[in-house]
């Protein structure tokens, strides 16, 4: 793995069948009869979306045309259009038809008689994906993607981007982000790549309405790496509150034209609730070790503590989705072969992530108030969904990996149905704050994980 690994592109790409993978899916439901839609005081004729992978429509460990088409901004633009004050078109930075599968993505395949999340590799591309990699490498070591050559998109979502990496002045002279992130690099001209930061890029747009969902990667990069931060990755830790506040104010001030443009922002969900941390459990791995060796005391993990660098895992420790592959090799079965630290988010690391998420969400709330826009509380929404699921047209959608309908095969990003549920939360808050009557999306019109 390169020294600068993009969170969104590498968050979760499991290679083996997962413990307890269920293949049950809920059936489709009938459409809802929708009442008339009204924009109220809003003008959506030039709608612009700012954000990271969640805004771009990233799904199944990759960015590809089908996923972009069901991004929550694309669904919002569709519903805005029904009010009579929507955009004539909503431009997304799609890949060419011959490379429609973009960066590549995970698919469920039958491997050795069992369903397994599988992805193409340089040595084995049997999934037949039409990839957009050029064969060149960026400074980060990531694969360069096919350049986007159209007009500046309306969906400005960039997988992997954080508030910290959005403003050149905050990074202390680190290498330009346009030469590190393939998803951002492809949006820029060759001349722009060394110098144009994200805040400058979004400032080129003149929206009549905007959405902004930024900040997730300012905590998620640290969490998905098990709290292990590479000194060579300037964006891999928990972003400090001072730089986050400065960057977030710059982003929101720029896209809102200093509060003169109406819009909405979303806050940061609690990352420990996602399937990436809830699928491979300490109990299940311990049971597997016990079945292989009756004397096994449990799962040994490596920690960052100098006092106890190796200890037995407890139910308070969270294992990453990617831990499955290394557990299969025996890692964690002996104190001399513990599960490496990057596959474990222990209780102390979880507390640090939660505390920083709360701090950053407070900054988001204060900045939204300053620029007179509502906050879509995705933190509360996803916590509720994680606890009880969400019912749509009689179908209960949950955060269960693969079969729960909401999350894709990377365990971090939604499926098209999950993005539809997210779009409805935006619509609910926009309607409540501005007095519009934008109609919700029917989530059951959109697919969940595709099974063979």
Separation CA 182–CA 188 (nearest Å): 10
Separation CA 12–CA 18 (nearest Å): 13
Residue 348 binned pLDDT confidence (cut-offs 50, 70, 90): very high
DSSP SS3 for 107: strand
- Delimit the domains of the chain by residue range: 7-278+347-445
Closest C-alpha to 193, from 203, 180, 205: 180
CA 81-43-71 angle, 5° bins: 45
Mean pLDDT is lowest, of 173-177, 248-252, 289-293, 357-361, for: 173-177
Instruction: Please determine, for residue 14, whether its predicted confidence score (pLDDT) is greater than 60.
Output: no
- DSSP structural state of residue 441: P
391 contacts 253 by C-beta, under 8 angstroms: no
244 contacts 215 by C-beta, under 8 angstroms: yes
Instruction: Please determine, for residue 196, whether its predicted confidence score (pLDDT) is greater than 90.
Output: yes
Separation CA 442–CA 32 (nearest Å): 7
188 contacts 201 by C-beta, under 8 angstroms: yes
- 232 vs 377: which has the higher pLDDT: 377
Instruction: Please determine, for residue 35, whether its predicted confidence score (pLDDT) is greater than 70.
Output: no
> Average pLDDT, whole number, for the chain?
90
198 contacts 169 by C-beta, under 8 angstroms: no
165 contacts 247 by C-beta, under 8 angstroms: no
Residue 304 binned pLDDT confidence (cut-offs 50, 70, 90): confident
- 7 vs 123: which has the higher pLDDT: 123
DSSP SS3 for 405: strand
Average pLDDT of span 71-85: 98
What are the tens digits of pLDDT across the range 101-116? 999 999 998 777 778 8
Separation CA 386–CA 382 (nearest Å): 6
Residue-level pLDDT at 1: 33
Read off φ and ψ for residue 349, nearest 5 degrees.
Answer: -65, -40
What does the DSSP assignment read for 61-88? TB--HHHHHTSHHHHHHHHHHTTT-S-S
Read off φ and ψ for residue 110, nearest 5 degrees.
Answer: -85, 115
86 contacts 42 by C-beta, under 8 angstroms: no
- 83 vs 175: which has the higher pLDDT: 83
Instruction: Please determine, for residue 200, whether its predicted confidence score (pLDDT) is greater than 90.
Output: yes
Residue 80 binned pLDDT confidence (cut-offs 50, 70, 90): very high
Average pLDDT of span 241-246: 98
Q: Are strands 375-376 and 262-266 parallel, antiparallel or unpaired?
A: parallel
Separation CA 267–CA 251 (nearest Å): 14
| Residue for token pair 């300490």 | 282
Radius of gyration of the chain (CA): 21
Instruction: Please determine, for residue 22, whether its predicted confidence score (pLDDT) is greater than 50.
Output: no
Instruction: Please determine, for residue 175, whether its predicted confidence score (pLDDT) is greater than 80.
Output: no
Residue-level pLDDT at 4: 34
Instruction: Please determine, for residue 21, whether its predicted confidence score (pLDDT) is greater than 50.
Output: no
Under CATH, domain 7-278+347-445 is a member of which superfamily?
A: SGNH hydrolase (3.40.50.1110)
**How many residues does the structure list for the chain?**
452
What are the tens digits of pLDDT across the range 351-394? 999 999 999 999 999 999 999 999 999 999 999 999 999 999 89
- Name 245's Cβ contacts closer than 8 Å, sequence gap at least 6: 363, 367
Instruction: Please determine, for residue 122, whether its predicted confidence score (pLDDT) is greater than 70.
Output: no
Separation CA 261–CA 324 (nearest Å): 46
Separation CA 79–CA 430 (nearest Å): 12
Read off φ and ψ for residue 310, nearest 5 degrees.
Answer: -135, 135
**What proportion of the chain, given as a percentage, has pLDDT over 70?**
90
Closest C-alpha to 211, from 407, 402, 75: 75
Closest C-alpha to 293, from 339, 244, 334: 334
Burial call 213-224: b when 16+ CB within 10 Å, e when fewer:
bbbbbbbbbbbb
Closest C-alpha to 401, from 269, 287, 280: 280
- Name 121's Cβ contacts closer than 8 Å, sequence gap at least 6: none
Average pLDDT of span 405-416: 97
Residue-level pLDDT at 184: 98
Average pLDDT of span 444-448: 96
Residue 418: is it exposed, middle or buried by C-beta count within 10 angstroms (0-12/13-18/19+)?
buried
Residue-level pLDDT at 452: 82
Residue-level pLDDT at 172: 73
């Amino acid at each position: 793995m390169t020294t600068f690994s993009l969170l969104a592109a590498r968050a979760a790409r499991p290679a083996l069948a997962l413990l307890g993978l269920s293949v049950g899916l809920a059936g489709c439901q009938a459409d809802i009869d929708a009442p008339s839609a009204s924009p109220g005081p809003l003008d959506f004729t030039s709608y612009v979306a700012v954000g990271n992978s969640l805004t771009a429509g990233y799904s199944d460990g990759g960015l590809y045309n089908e996923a972009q088409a069901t991004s929550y901004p694309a669904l919002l633009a569709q519903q805005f259009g029904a009010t009579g004050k929507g955009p004539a078109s909503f431009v997304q930075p799609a890949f060419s038809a011959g490379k429609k599968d973009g960066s590549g993505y995970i698919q469920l395949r039958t491997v050795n008689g069992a369903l397994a999340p599988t992805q193409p590799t340089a040595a084995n591309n049997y999934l037949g994906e039409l990839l957009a990699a050029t064969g060149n490498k960026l400074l980060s070591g990531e694969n360069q993607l096919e350049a986007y050559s159209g007009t500046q998109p309306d969906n400005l979502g960039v997988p992997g981007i954080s508030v910290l990496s959005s403003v050149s002045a905050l990074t202390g002279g680190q290498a330009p982000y346009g030469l590190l992130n393939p998803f951002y690099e492809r949006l820029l001209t060759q001349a722009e790549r060394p110098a144009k930061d994200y805040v400058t890029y979004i400032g080129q747009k003149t929206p009549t309405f905007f959405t902004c969902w930024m900040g997730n990667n300012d905590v998620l990069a640290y969490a998905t790496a098990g709290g292990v931060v590479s000194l060579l990755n300037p964006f891999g830790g928990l972003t400090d509150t001072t730089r986050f506040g400065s960057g977030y104010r710059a982003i929101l001030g720029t896209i809102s034209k200093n509060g003169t443009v109406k819009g909405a922002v979303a806050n940061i969900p609690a990352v420990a609730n996602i399937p990436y941390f809830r699928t491979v459990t300490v109990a299940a791995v311990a049971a597997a070790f016990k079945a292989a060796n009756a004397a096994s005391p449990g799962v040994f993990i490596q920690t960052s503590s100098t006092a106890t660098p190796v200890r037995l895992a407890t139910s308070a420790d969270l294992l990453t989705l990617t831990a499955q592959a290394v557990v299969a090799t025996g890692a964690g079965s002996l104190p001399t072969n513990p599960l490496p630290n990057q596959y474990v988010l222990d209780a102390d690391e979880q507390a640090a992530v939660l505390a920083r998420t709360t701090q950053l969400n407070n900054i988001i709330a204060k900045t939204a108030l300053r620029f007179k826009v509502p906050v879509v509380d995705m933190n509360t929404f996803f916590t509720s969904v994680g606890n009880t699921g969400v019912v749509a047209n009689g179908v209960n959608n949950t955060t269960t990996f693969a079969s729960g309908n909401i999350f894709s095969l990377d365990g971090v990003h939604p499926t098209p149905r999950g993005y539809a549920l997210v779009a409805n939360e935006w619509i609910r808050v926009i309607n409540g704050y501005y007095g519009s009557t934008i109609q919700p999306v029917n989530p059951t019109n959109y697919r969940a994980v595709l099974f063979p």
